[in-house]
Amino acid sequence: MTIRTLEPRSTEVGGVPIARLLPNKGKQPIGAWCFLDHAGPAEFAQDDLGVQVGRHPHTNLQTFSWMIDGEILHKDSLGSEQVIAKNQVNLMTAGTGLNQGISHTEQSVFAEQSDQHKTDSSAAHRHINMIQLWIALPTNQQIERSFHHYPELPTWTEGNVELILTTGSYQSVSGKLYKAPTLQYSKLVGIDVHFLEDGDVTLNLEASFEYGILVVVGALESEGQVYKKDQLLRFHRTDVSNDTTITLVAKKGTRLMFIGGEPLSNQVLLWWNFVANNKEELEQSVIDWNNGHERFSEVDSDMQRLVAPEVPKGFKG
């Protein structure tokens, strides 16, 4: 079995330390999953504001936020205002093309603020453990802006392991088919894998998919190798001798994010918060955002408006 291990790059977003796994040293997306950040687990001091990500834009992508612990308030230029809590997904779609775009903010919500933001969670304490991914959109489709919140997702157990299907459809090794309600524009799958006790789980693989497994908490053993927190395993089914499954072994408390998808037919270039299939569109998006173009509208927030850096002259994607 050939599994490539990607190491995280440490960075900071909105005042919170981040382990960034994608993009990673020129590696291509995993299916349409083109960006992957892990925030946490982290605790905030009493005088710490937590996550504070000011007004910023996106193009040709979906932001996919998966909350393991904590709460975040999302506001966007469509007028959406939504707190995401434990085991929920927020999905924001920026739309495709130079006439589309979206902007938003993200802020921590703590227990003392829960009533103000109409949260119903008692878990909004001063901590966070969150995965944020970007999904590149197929640029040959005319896709409109949207925002969706998914508080309930298919959940089941296999032995000592709890699985939550965050997007796509998945047939378990027992033959049962699960389907998530999450909006998709290309074939993807996302599964949160939580070991409730020491044990193992076998996951089915699709021949046309590329795959990644992020170790969120704990450590993972697969094919005789041990993988640590914030390492990302990357593989294709043909890399595993055409096996139709992969078996994962871990201790109690280990948590994984399993992602997969079919590669897009278009090129995927990333610069700052923008995705495009060519450099010229990235450059135009920078100009449009910095000059207040109406394609990005406004967010009802007094948070700082971030400035887009210029695309370097030698940028190759």
Q: What is the full DSSP assignment across 230-248?
A: T-EEEEEGGGGTT-SEEEE
Rounded to whole angstroms, how far apart are CA atoms 104 and 77? 6
DSSP state of 307: P
Torsion angle in degrees (nearest 10) through CA of 6, 11, 17, 23: -40
Asked if 121 contacts 85 with a C-beta cutoff of 8 angstroms, the reply is yes
**pLDDT at site 97:** 96
User: Strands 88-93 and 9-13: what pairing?
Assistant: unpaired
pLDDT tens for each residue of the chain, 317 residues long: 588 999 999 998 877 889 999 998 767 899 999 999 999 888 898 889 899 999 999 999 999 999 999 999 999 999 999 999 999 999 999 999 999 999 999 999 986 554 555 444 444 478 899 999 999 999 999 999 999 999 999 999 999 999 999 999 999 999 999 999 999 999 999 999 999 999 999 999 999 999 999 999 999 998 788 999 999 999 987 665 557 999 999 999 999 999 999 999 999 999 999 999 999 999 999 999 999 999 999 999 999 999 999 999 989 86
Output DSSP code: residue 198: S
Q: pTM to 2 decimals?
A: 0.94
Q: Are 58 and 273 in contact (CB under 8 A)?
A: yes
Strand order through the sheet with 210-217: 4-6, 232-236, 210-217, 255-261, 188-195, 161-167, 155-158
